[in-house]
Amino acid sequence: MKVLAVGCHPDDLEIGCYGTLAKYRQLGHDVAVCNIANGNLGHVVIKPDELREVRLKEAQAAAKVIGAAHYTIDIGDLYVTAENDDLVRKLAKVIREVQPDVVITHFENDYMNDHIQTYYATFRASFAASCPHYESNADPASAPIMPIYHMDTLAGVGFLPTEYVDISDVMETKLEALSCHKSQLEWMLEHDGIDFLDFVRTCSKVRGYQCGVKYAEGFRLCRNYLRMVPRRLLP
């Protein structure tokens, strides 16, 4: 199976679904990750141009931890919108290249607009990628319409999972990947007083309590026409 996870900023996927992606890799599936935004505004000291480069390298390193292919659309923070035709074009190209059987992305009611728009851009691009006459010189010419899963929100606020993945045996791998985002971990500790590794471990433990395992990640299936299949796709 081929899996594509589309997150907004570098580190969003590591927080929300890297345990599940690591499980997919354990099972021999192909995994690709794509960041829409470049994270250039995610610091109070490091300037945007420098931070863009730093965060790209951090995201690439994190993907390497789990053996995933890495893509970036390279949109500046706070400028992500599903109405951006160029963004959709580029994301559709990634989808056609990956040919995913399932996509994981943000929840439609997440805490910030960049995340919400990433979901809608993913929804739009995944349908566009199925149309052979959309960007008709593309190769491959199309990709099947695939199921989409919403990953958890930050701290699980406003999100009630309908499916869980037991990540107990890959929890440390998830944190190892997240640790690649040194600029963010240091900034969160200094700026907000949050130990983000402990934060993510704790959230995973709460989801684990909900489904009877040590650590888990929660998801919701996008229940739109053509997005549902009669089999479990999560590991």
CATH number for the domain harbouring residue 67: 3.40.50.10320
167 closest CA partner among 123, 200, 122? 200
List pLDDT tens digits, range 170-225.
999 999 999 999 999 998 898 889 999 999 999 999 999 999 999 999 999 999 99
Question: Which residue ranges in the chain fall short of pLDDT 50?
Answer: none
Per-residue confidence (pLDDT) for residue 141, from 0 to 100: 87
Residue 227, domain member (yes or no): no
Number of domains present in the structure of the chain: 1
Per-residue confidence (pLDDT) for residue 204, from 0 to 100: 98
Q: Which helix (H) or strand (E) holds 179?
A: helix 171-179
Per-residue confidence (pLDDT) for residue 187, from 0 to 100: 87
Q: What are phi and psi of 221, to 5 degrees?
A: -80, 135
Per-residue confidence (pLDDT) for residue 139, from 0 to 100: 84
Cα distance between residue 17 and residue 63, in whole Å: 12
Residue 35, domain member (yes or no): yes
Which residue type does 57 have?
Answer: K
Residue 77, domain member (yes or no): yes
What radius of gyration do the chain's Cα atoms show?
17
Query: If 0-12 CB within 10 Å is exposed, 13-18 middle and 19+ buried, where does residue 193 land?
Result: exposed
Residue 234, domain member (yes or no): no
Cα distance between residue 114 and residue 183, in whole Å: 20
Residue 194, domain member (yes or no): yes
Q: What are phi and psi of 222, to 5 degrees?
A: -70, 115
211 closest CA partner among 157, 168, 148? 168
Residue 228, domain member (yes or no): no
Residue 105, domain member (yes or no): yes
Residue 229, domain member (yes or no): no
Q: Domain range for residue 171?
A: 2-221
> Among all chains, which residue has been given the structure tokens 């704790």?
202
pTM above 0.85, yes or no: yes
> Among all chains, which residue has been given the structure tokens 């679904």?
17
| HEC sequence for 11-28 | CHHHHHCHHHHHHHHHCC
